[in-house]
Structures are given as C-alpha cells and as structure tokens.
Amino acid sequence: MRRTSFGIVFVLMFAALVFAGCAKGGGGGSNAVLQVRGSDTELSLVQKLSEKFMENNQAKIAVTGGGSGTGIASLINGEIDMANASRPMEDKEISQAQDNNVNPMEFVVAMDGVSVIVNADNPVEQLTMDQIGAIYRGEITNWQEVGGNDQAISLYGRQNNSGTFVFFREHVLQGDYSADMKRMNGNAQIVEGVKADTAGIGYVGIGYVVDENGNQVGGLKVLKVAKDENSPYISPLNREEVLNGNYPVARPLYQYTNGKPEGSLLNFIKFELSETGQNIATKEGFFPVPQNLQQQNNANLGD
C-alpha cells in the first residue's frame, strides 16, 4: 500500500510539471486566445469591449490588468498580443522592444479625464494643478493650507507599474511622489481608500468615479481642477470641457500591438474604434477618441 502511494505521488508530480509546461507555451497558435494585458484604468473598458466583440466573432480574447508598466513589459518580453497603457511608451521602452524584435504600434482607444478625488466630507471643492503637485510631492501636508480642515493629508496613489502614476508624475508633479504616499494596487482600491478616509486624496481614471448610469459614485467628491490660479476650475464630469481640452489632466488611453495588427486582433481594434465601440467607452464614463488621434489610428491600421 505504502509503495503504490509513493508511485502515485510521483506520477502526479510529473503530470503537473508537464501540464505547467504546456500551458506556458500556448500563446503562438492561430486558434490561440488573444492576450491583452496592462492598464488597470482601461481594464473594465477593454473587458466590456471584448465581451461585445466576442458575441459576434469567433475570436477569444483574454483581458487582464496589472498596470500599464506590466502590460508594456509583457509586450517587450513578447508574452502578449496587445498591451493596454494609460501612458505613452517611453523611448527607452521602444528601443528595448526593438532589441527583442518587437515593433510597438500605437492606438488610442478612448480619452480619460484623470479625476482627483477626496472624501465626501472634505470641504475642499477645487485645487490648482500646482496645489495638487505640491500635495503629492509632500510639500503641502495639511488640508488647512488649501482651505480645508486642520487635518494631515493622507495620500493615495498607485504603484509605479501604473500608467496613471507615471502620467500624473509627468504632468502634475514634475517631481517625485512623497515617500509617505500609500501605493495602492488599482483604481478601485484608491476609491475605497478615499471613501473610508476623511483626510484622503487620490487620483483615478474617470471610469472609476462614474457608475453605469453616468452618475457619480457615492462617498466621494470629484475636485474641480484649474491649470493655474487665473484659469477656470473645471470638473472632469463636464464632458464638453474634457473633450475640448480645457480640463488640464485629460489624456489618451493607448493600446500597443507588435507590428501592424492582423486577423482577429485587427478586427477587434476596428471594433473598438467603431461607433459601437466608442459608445461603449462613453457609457463606461470615458470620452470618444478625438479627430486628430482617429487619423493616427487609421494610419496605423493601414487604412
């Protein structure tokens, strides 16, 4: 009895190893599942798009998050078919990709207004870009300094694999984040953190503060943001102002493929950029791709 059980354990161990090996090598075939990985901000949007796409097509698409940095690193390492990124690829990353025989091709799937959020109980309504930058750099540490209660500011941000982390650093901070910032794993965690923290401030994609019916999520306040003291304070919930570029922290949401997309990947991107696709993006709280970026998309699609 003892002996046979040893044998069984061994057979099982080898079987597990073999299966693990197979599962890893499964990316290449023509019937393979398309792997899309990256931006947490884009995750639910691209998931919705792929679900709709799969209803009418043979293709299988698996969409996972992990952050823009994760998606881009996976594209560079040749592990996936398409990366979602809420920031553009850096020159350094493009050359790393080319060293690996990967030629990143850029698409813009939607526009996002990065929303600066505070707890609903916070009396602060609006901030300038400079103030937000100083708060996140750790130079302003009390809400009193920007017209709020006498309470230490508690910072919520993302891990550095997040495109939003990088975008915010380049466009708002222009410096390093305070080391005291809590590094959360995703937009949803920031939303939950700020909801529970009366002194909290966070930044998330607009898709995370708007529910399915276009209403603002409860427990939060979306701040109005001004370019500088002399500019108007604008809320990212105001569609027109985001689309005409007056909201200062708007950004394109990117997708990167290796070379010109083909087959079902090409069809999927075309679907995303179609009217149906863009309507889904709008329903998710994001904004449609503006004209000039549409032209870039078409050029990269080869139309």
Interface positions with other proteins (CB under 8 A): 66-67, 69-70, 73, 76-77, 93, 96, 151-152, 154, 159-161, 169-170, 173-176, 178-185, 192-193, 196-200
Please choose, from the candidates 239, 98, 254, 235, the residue with its C-alpha nearest in 3D space to the C-alpha of residue 166: 254
Nearer to other proteins, 104 or 277 (CB): 104
Nearer to other proteins, 22 or 179 (CB): 179
- Characterize the bridge pairing of strands 220-222 and 115-119: antiparallel
Q: How far is the CB of 189 from other proteins (least distance, A)?
A: 8
* In the complex, minimum distance from the CB of residue 92 to other proteins, in angstroms, rounded to a whole number: 8
What are the angstrom distances between the C-alpha of 111 and each of 42, 106, 234, 287? 10, 14, 16, 5
**Of 26 and 78, CB closest to other proteins:** 78
Query: Cβ closer to other proteins: 82 or 173?
Result: 173
How far apart (Å, rounded) are the C-alpha atoms in residues 156 and 203? 8
DSSP reduced 3-state for 125: coil
Nearer to other proteins among residue 16 and residue 152 (C-beta): 152
The nearest distance, CB 239 to other proteins, in angstroms, is 32
Query: Least separation, in Å, of the C-beta of 198 and other proteins?
Result: 6
Neighbours of 44 (CB within 10 A): 18
Give the Cα-Cα-Cα angle 190, 166, 235 (nearest 5 degrees): 60
* Unique residue bearing structure tokens 């694999």: 161
DSSP 146: G
Nearest distance in Å: CB 120, other proteins: 14
